[in-house]
Structure 1
Amino acid sequence: MTTRSESSGPFDLTRYTHAVENRDADTMVSMMADDADFEMIDRRTPPSRPSVLHGRDAIAPVVRDISSREMTHEVVNVISDGEHVAYTERCTYPDDTRVMSMTMLDLSDGRIKHQSTIQAWDDDAGRSMQVGDFGMPDDTDDYENAHADLVEIGGRMVARMTLQPGWRWSEHARPIQGTDLCMKTHRAFIVSGTICGHMSDGSELEATAGQTAFVPPGHDAWVVGDEPCVLLDWGVGE
């Protein structure tokens, strides 16, 4: 740990940085304001479409997921003026894959009001043949009426999504994503079922089993009929 300065305000900078380095998610979450915002920019969520979470309850699962991963964390080059904190974080996985991030914290009443993080990591993808297995996904995502298994292959994330009858993005995903419409790009193959997309300009399309679909940012979507919709999405994070 290097180049650290103490906060002149009520925010306990030493406690926070120790929590980051010790993967203490509970402490990190407790130091956030109830209405905190969390913004992440990386190769899957570029600057034009960052991942944004609103509220401590929405942020907590992400912090706990990151903290649960088997890697070391080192906080370096910390600067604080009592109202803002900026720091660099170096992370290393057991296979020696490195992740570097830069974070800015905006503080209010001794708690984190807004967090912005930009991160980049080693990528050896594309140098050899690879096989992904949805039976052993790299990550999973669950929310009401929906489940996703994610596999990283060739430097990209591919998702197998199972959306139950009655699922609608604006009802089930909007509270998590924190935007009025889905701001991600989807390139999908429909394995089974039918899904409908509705763009902000009023245009709609339905895609059913055996078809592929391209859906740009700024849309709502829902399952059509009484059959679950299973799709493969290789536009994840764009």
Structure 2
Amino acid sequence: MSTRTETDPRFDSGALTRAVESADADAMLALFADDAEMEMIDKRAQPSRPAVLHGKAAIAPALREVFSRDMTHEVLDCVVDADHAAYTERCSYPDGTRVMSMTMLDLRDGRISHQSTVQAWDEPAAPRPETGDFARAEETEVLDRARTEALRVGGHTAVRMTLRPGWRWTVDMAESRGTAKCMANHRAYVVSGALRWQMDDGTEGEVRAGQVVCLPPNHDAWVLGDEPVTLVDWPVAEG
């Protein structure tokens, strides 16, 4: 931790550091004047329209919310003179995400009358090109008349299903899944063969090679004819 200069003994920078690093909202709040303002500038609250809180009563819940988060706080630098103080803070989440902030304080009678903070945080890594191969699927399930292979690509799961003639969900899958109908939310491309589906309200339809189907939960489905069905499914729940 860097050296601090304190030319104004009325404002306790040590108390500020202890409050921040221990995530003590009440101790931090005690450093503010009753009519203090807190101003925040970041990606969401841009410079032309910063987020501003007026008064200690409005600042209190904001401090408590920040200090309740699962993160560590570290004051890196703090400098104080008669009327102002400034400090930088580094926060870290358990997953490694970091937030950096720079705060300027206006002081009056040893209390914070105005706080202005500019902060920035790590963004998720940009998507990168990625390929997968069902021949090296991460999960494979083999039943009498069905084979499923699943792998994750780009953060989402893709499933290839191969269904033999005679396959029907209520006959071949219901027992292992523990439900009377399929409760998955499917979005699939049919590579080969033909499949018929029926919803719980009796609505029926067919999907064939080259077509895409989206089936909501509570449905049955079965293979039509003597040709196996192969389809690739991206479950809707995966986004």
Give, as a single letter, the amino acid of the residue that structure 1 aligns with 2:13. Answer: L
Distance 1:59 1:38, change over 3 A: same
RMSD: 1.7
The aligned residue for residue 226 of structure 2 is none
Give, as a single letter, the amino acid of the residue that structure 2 aligns with 1:43. Answer: K
What secondary structure does 2:15 align onto? helix
The aligned residue for residue 49 of structure 2 is 49
What secondary structure does 1:79 align onto? strand
Measure, in 2, the Cα distance between the counterparts of 1:58 and 1:77. Answer: 27
The aligned residue for residue 195 of structure 1 is none
The aligned residue for residue 85 of structure 2 is 85
Measure, in 2, the Cα distance between the counterparts of 1:95 and 1:2. Answer: 26
**Superposed CA offset, 1:164-209 (max 9, x none):** xxxxxxxxxxxxxxxxxxxxxxxxxxxxxxxxxxxxxxxxxxxxxx
How does 1:76-115 map onto structure 2 within 5 Å? 76-115=76-115
The aligned residue for residue 69 of structure 1 is 69
Measure, in 2, the Cα distance between the counterparts of 1:10 and 1:52. Answer: 26
CA contact (8 A) 1:79 1:86 kept: yes
Measure, in 2, the Cα distance between the counterparts of 1:7 and 1:75. Answer: 19
User: Is the deviation greater in 47-56 or in 2-11?
Assistant: 2-11
Aligned residue pair count: 131
The aligned residue for residue 143 of structure 1 is none
Higher relative contact order (CA 8 A, sep 6+): 1
**Superposed CA offset, 1:96-120 (max 9, x none):** 1010000001110111000000000
The aligned residue for residue 119 of structure 2 is 119
Percent of pairs with identical residues: 60
Distance 1:130 1:31, change over 3 A: farther
Distance 1:7 1:15, change over 3 A: farther
How does 1:122-141 map onto structure 2 within 5 Å? 122-124=122-124, 126-127=126-127
CA contact (8 A) 1:88 1:101 kept: yes
Measure, in 1, the Cα distance between the counterparts of 2:119 and 2:24. Answer: 20
Shift in Å, 1:125: 5.6
Task: Decide which structure has the larger Cα Rg and report it.
Answer: 2
CA contact (8 A) 2:13 2:78 kept: no
Unaligned stretches of 5+ residues in structure 1: 132-238
The aligned residue for residue 174 of structure 1 is none
Could you state the TM-score of these two structures normalised by the residue count of structure 1?
0.52
Unaligned stretches of 5+ residues in structure 2: 129-153, 157-239
Shift in Å, 1:127: 2.3
Measure, in 2, the Cα distance between the counterparts of 1:54 and 1:75. Answer: 25
